Amino acid sequence: MSEMLKASGLFKSYKMGQTKIEVLKCLDFSVRAGQFVAIVGASGSGKSTLLHILGALDEPDAGSVQFEGKRLDKFRAGELNRFRNKMVGFVFQFYHLLDELNVLENVMLPAMAQSSTIGWLRRRIGAKKHAKSLLERFGLADRIGHKPYQLSGGERQRVAIARALMNKPALLLADEPTGNLDSETGNGILGVLEELNNDGQTIVMVTHDDRIAQRAHNVIRLADGKIV
């Protein structure tokens, strides 16, 4: 099976005044279509940093990421936007839902973001149907009019996953999707991810919880800036 996403020789450091924090030190990583990979590592080991680079939300200092054989840093601006918006779905560590929008609008946002005004008028009805079906699937049919602050943590996380899936991404990147939840709610979220993967969704999930990680097919450990 060929690699969907492949990172080679990634370096990333942050400068804080005089000190330089080296987070990634020549890191290699890859994921194949259909895999469910968990990345584990201690707090501060660079898991979020890596995931942001894989999703083109940040750039490495050196090294490269290839998606289906093409280097992200060679993408033209339009291609990069398309990659971020259509090819990957990102579930953030702290949800990042918009409190001004209700649940349905939050989920529809990625579809809106990729359309021109005219395009959106044409696609809006289909997008709404798709957003509603995702929310139904995740047990949120009776919450679509709620604002994020009117939801529980587990519900917010499910909305964030629905939003990440809105544009049918090839790859789902999830940063600690169970991190802020009690273990029962976390297990529910994991069940959602397992079901998606059974339907063919490729997933890379970051977690600091070994028990959660064991439920993925492949567990990869990040320490000292590398995969160990």
Ligand X SMILES: Nc1ncnc2c1ncn2[C@@H]1O[C@H](COP(=O)(O)OP(=O)(O)OP(=O)(O)O)[C@@H](O)[C@H]1O
Residues near ligand X, by CB under 6 A: 14, 16, 21, 23, 41, 43-49, 93, 208
Residue with Cβ nearer ligand X (19 or 116): 19
Whose CA is closest to 162, among 191, 132, 183, 185? 132
Q: Which does 177 bind (CB under 5 to 8 A by kind): ligand X, Mg ion, none?
A: none
**Closest distance to ligand X from the beta carbon of 112 (Å):** 28
What's the rounded Cα separation, in Å, for the pair 125 and 205? Answer: 31
What's the rounded Cα separation, in Å, for the pair 153 and 93? Answer: 12
What the block records as the tokens of 180 is: 């802020």
**Closest distance to ligand X from the beta carbon of 59 (Å):** 13
Instruction: Kindly identify the residues of this chain, within the stretch 38-57, that bind Mg ion according to CB under 5 A.
Output: 48
**Closest distance to ligand X from the beta carbon of 130 (Å):** 31
189 to each of 57, 161, 166, 200, how far by Cα in Å?
24, 9, 17, 17
Amino acid at 92: F
**Closest distance to ligand X from the beta carbon of 171 (Å):** 18
Residue with Cβ nearer ligand X (41 or 110): 41
Residue with Cβ nearer ligand X (21 or 141): 21
Under rule CB under 5 A, how many of the chain's residues touch Mg ion? 1
What's the rounded Cα separation, in Å, for the pair 223 and 113? Answer: 36
Residue with Cβ nearer ligand X (41 or 177): 41
**Closest distance to ligand X from the beta carbon of 202 (Å):** 21
Q: Which does 208 bind (CB under 5 to 8 A by kind): Mg ion, ligand X, none?
A: ligand X
Strands 226-227 vs 218-223: parallel, antiparallel or unpaired: antiparallel
Tokens 């997933």, located at residue: 203
Whose CA is closest to 126, among 82, 167, 171? 167
Residue with Cβ nearer Mg ion (48 or 167): 48
Helix (H) or strand (E) holding 160: helix 153-165
Contact residues toward Mg ion (CB under 5 A) are: 48
